[in-house]
Amino acid sequence: MCGIVGYIGVKPVKQILIDGLRELEYRGYDSAGIAVLQNNTFSLFKAVGKLVNLEEKAKNFETEGFSIGIGHTRWATHGKPTELNAHPHLGENSYVVHNGIIENYQELKASLMAQGVQFLSQTDTEVIVHLFEHHLKTASDAFDAFKKTLVQLEGAYAILLINSNESGTIFFAKHGSPMIIGRNEAGEILFGSSDAALIGKCHEVIYLEDGHYGYGSAKGISLFDQNHQPVALRFSPLAENKLSAQKEGYRFFMEKEIYEQSRVLADTLMGRLRDESVYFEEIDPELFQGINEIKLCACGTSYHAAMVASYLFERHAKIKTSVEIASEFRYREPFLTQDTLFVVISQSGETADTLESLKMAKKFGLKTMVICNVDNSSMVRLADASILTRAGIEKGVASTKAFATQVCVLWMLSLSLAGERHTLEASEIQNQIHLLRTLPSTVTVDSALHEQLRRLSKRYLHGHGFFFIGRDVFFPLALEGALKLKEISYLHAEGYPSGEMKHGPIALADPKLFTIALLPQHKLYDKTKSNIEELSARDSTICSISPLDFDKADDHIRTKPSEHYMCEFFEMMVVLQLLSMEIAIRLGNDVDMPRNLAKSVTVE
Ligand code: F6R
């Protein structure tokens, strides 16, 4: 959700800011802006839409020698995506960029307006810069004014602020939204809301904690905690490898990421499979001692992975498992017991609702674990234990490879628990370990299948909606298929358990209702088949996905024969991802940056 960059140094600042923003653009792309301060003079550029528009506007702007700058790419929360609402926001002689939400901005704004301050934008962010300038009138210096400003802010924020009287300084603060500071041997200092913006430019970084604030200048970084005490700078090395590679010939990052699933699943499995057991080096077996229940909590696609896990954990490890949508869990006053392991699942490790749920569980004294794709993310730092999914940077807003690796980790975890708890025969664990080893080949995209889906997609561009249906773990997969389609095609799609159709939804069945039916051979085949036949009898247009022939379907996608329903799951997952993508491409949509969405939802 939004991206922030900042720079202090002697290199051409514009390019550094824009390069950093490009790495973050997938998080928000309805407008972007940069503000540069050199010799007490500001230069500002803002543009609506994607970053190329900003680049075009700033194309003749260059700096030589020392300067500082801040930049932002926005996903609108307050106010429409216009230039006025784009960051950086100006006071009289200061600019600010901000991620998060200032919850009390209306009352702060009203009080500033009553004192004659004029606001230009509809954003919550603008209040920060005016509040800062209000305090500057009475504060001992700019940093004092910045501190006084922070004290009044409620909500979540990562902030960078610059002021023309302090022409070499960037003030920063983090509370609830990520912020990272990096430095390199050339003495440059960079800021980013994600380390992706800093890779290749810094060799070491500090991941700020909530409540941290301070300032950076050519002299270095001064950091303070929420009690206003100085904090020693603890840098961690930053990976040098720019994993955020380019599209490598694929039309979209999403397509590249679907094709990458084979390789990343091999990485996910690496070192974790033994002949007779699954082993997570990073997990102390003590974590599971005294645990009688697992509560999984997540949002969106990660929630669907959690739902899959709820079937596998109960089936394999015979442990009571419940699943929670994080935004519901936070406010429903949940009844928690101390023998529960609280597991959050998140690609980014920064999703606000999931992070807050994790904090709640910790506060309640539960043992916690995160399954996450981003090392050093807020959730990884907070949870008692973490398992990294190793999917690599996922740039497509619609999650694909992150989901694949989450389900893979959760399947492995179910077997690891089953081994500890002696709830599955050793031979069955061995068999499933063998199946896990086949996953990289299971998800390898077959070019003939991709071509079939590309051709088929033209028949699914109209109609009044889609039902994705499946049973057992294929129900969460149906939900995920429907989510993928609606995210990038903007067509209406719903996921349903197949057996639920006759309890209401089947009333919608007619030729213009498209049913995408998941019909695995090895899980409830006959039951699912008769549910699909019920829809076929009502003339719904049916596209079935199965390794077995199905003559009641209008279209049939034949998957490879396999030994186990989980292998069928992974193969069907790839089919759903490709089908959604091909439909969206035919509709002319930007698959990587679908409208209204952003990667990493760091606001509630
Ligand atoms: C869908 C998608 C979202 C995320 C959700 C949670 O394609 O990407 O639904 O899954 O916003 O994000 P994470 O996993 O980062 O917590």
* Per-residue pLDDT reduced to its tens digit, 121-179: 999 999 999 999 999 999 999 999 999 999 999 988 999 999 999 989 999 999 988 89
Asked, for residue 564, whether it belongs to a domain, the answer is yes
105/197 same-domain check:
yes
Q: What is the pLDDT of residue 506?
A: 87
The side-by-side arrangement of strands in the sheet containing 367-372 is 320-325, 293-298, 340-346, 367-372, 385-388
Q: What is the pLDDT of residue 79?
A: 76
pLDDT digits 0-9 by tens, 240-261:
665 444 676 789 999 999 999 9
Decide: 487 in ligand 1 pocket, CB within 6 A: yes
pLDDT digits 0-9 by tens, 428-456:
999 999 999 999 999 999 999 999 999 99
- The residue-averaged pLDDT of 411-423 equals 97
The answer to whether residue 26 scores a pLDDT higher than 80 is no
Asked, for residue 562, whether it belongs to a domain, the answer is yes
CATH number assigned to the domain comprising residue 573: 3.40.50.10490
230/90 same-domain check:
yes
C-alpha angle 527-531-532 in degrees, rounded to nearest 5: 120
Q: Domain end: 207, 224, 240, which one?
A: 240
449/354 same-domain check:
no
Asked, for residue 598, whether it belongs to a domain, the answer is no
Smallest CA separation from ligand 1 atom 11, residue: 300
158/288 same-domain check:
no
Q: Domain end: 240, 274, 297, which one?
A: 240
Q: Which residue has the higher pLDDT, 26 or 452?
A: 452
Smallest CA separation from ligand 1 atom 4, residue: 300
Q: Domain end: 425, 444, 463, which one?
A: 444
Q: What is the pLDDT of residue 177?
A: 83
The answer to whether residue 35 scores a pLDDT higher than 60 is yes
236/252 same-domain check:
no
Q: What positions carry a catalytic annotation? A: 2, 599
The answer to whether residue 463 scores a pLDDT higher than 80 is no
CA dihedral angle for residue 301, residue 320, residue 289, residue 384, rounded to 10 degrees? 20
212/135 same-domain check:
yes
Q: What is the pLDDT of residue 244?
A: 45
Q: Half-sphere exposure of residue 440, counting CA atoms within 13 Å on the CB side?
A: 12
286/368 same-domain check:
yes
Q: d(Cα 57, Cα 47) in Å, to the nearest integer?
A: 7
Q: What is the pTM of this model?
A: 0.79
490/412 same-domain check:
no
Tell how far the Cα of 547 is from the centroid of ligand 1, in angstroms.
30
Q: What is the pLDDT of residue 34?
A: 97
Q: What is the pLDDT of residue 245?
A: 44
- The residue-averaged pLDDT of 466-477 equals 98
Asked, for residue 419, whether it belongs to a domain, the answer is yes
Position in ligand 1 atom list of the atom nearest CA 303: 10
Q: What is the pLDDT of residue 310?
A: 98
Tell how far the Cα of 153 is from the centroid of ligand 1, in angstroms.
27
CATH number assigned to the domain comprising residue 178: 3.60.20.10
Tell which one of 296, 358, 372, 399 to mutate to probe ligand 1, the residue whose CB is within 8 A of the most ligand atoms: 399
Q: What is the pLDDT of residue 10?
A: 96
The answer to whether residue 50 scores a pLDDT higher than 90 is no
285/402 same-domain check:
yes
Q: d(Cα 604, Cα 190) in Å, to the nearest integer?
A: 27
Decide: 601 in ligand 1 pocket, CB within 6 A: yes
Low-confidence winner among 2-6, 159-163, 213-217, 544-548 (lowest mean pLDDT): 2-6
Q: Which residue has the higher pLDDT, 185 or 76?
A: 185
What is the band of 1 on the pLDDT scale with cuts at 50, 70, 90? Answer: low
Q: d(Cα 68, Cα 41) in Å, to the nearest integer?
A: 11
Tell how far the Cα of 398 is from the centroid of ligand 1, in angstroms.
8
Asked, for residue 602, whether it belongs to a domain, the answer is no
564/548 same-domain check:
yes
Position in ligand 1 atom list of the atom nearest CA 600: 15
Contact 592, 495 (CB under 8 A): no
Decide: 400 in ligand 1 pocket, CB within 6 A: no
pLDDT digits 0-9 by tens, 359-388:
999 999 999 999 999 888 899 999 999 999
Residue for token digits 């998140």?
346
What is the span of the domain harbouring residue 523?
445-589
Tell how far the Cα of 600 is from the centroid of ligand 1, in angstroms.
7
Asked, for residue 371, whether it belongs to a domain, the answer is yes
65/185 same-domain check:
yes
Task: Give me the percent of the chain exceeding a pLDDT of 70.
Answer: 98
Q: What is the pLDDT of residue 558?
A: 97
Asked, for residue 595, whether it belongs to a domain, the answer is no
389/505 same-domain check:
no
Decide: 370 in ligand 1 pocket, CB within 6 A: no
Decide: 482 in ligand 1 pocket, CB within 6 A: no
Number of domains in the chain: 3
Q: Which residue has the higher pLDDT, 469 or 23?
A: 469
Decide: 351 in ligand 1 pocket, CB within 6 A: yes
Q: Which residue has the higher pLDDT, 568 or 271?
A: 568
Asked, for residue 293, whether it belongs to a domain, the answer is yes
Of 47-61, 233-247, 296-310, which has the strongest mean pLDDT? 296-310
pLDDT digits 0-9 by tens, 209-249:
889 999 999 999 999 999 999 999 999 888 766 544 467 67
Decide: 327 in ligand 1 pocket, CB within 6 A: no
Q: What is the pLDDT of residue 30?
A: 84
What is the band of 479 on the pLDDT scale with cuts at 50, 70, 90? Answer: very high
Low-confidence winner among 70-74, 309-313, 376-380 (lowest mean pLDDT): 376-380
Low-confidence winner among 23-27, 30-34, 577-581 (lowest mean pLDDT): 23-27
Q: d(Cα 23, Cα 25) in Å, to the nearest integer?
A: 6
Name every residue whose Cβ is closer than 8 Å to that of residue 585 and which is 6 or more positions away in sequence. Answer: 251, 252, 457, 591
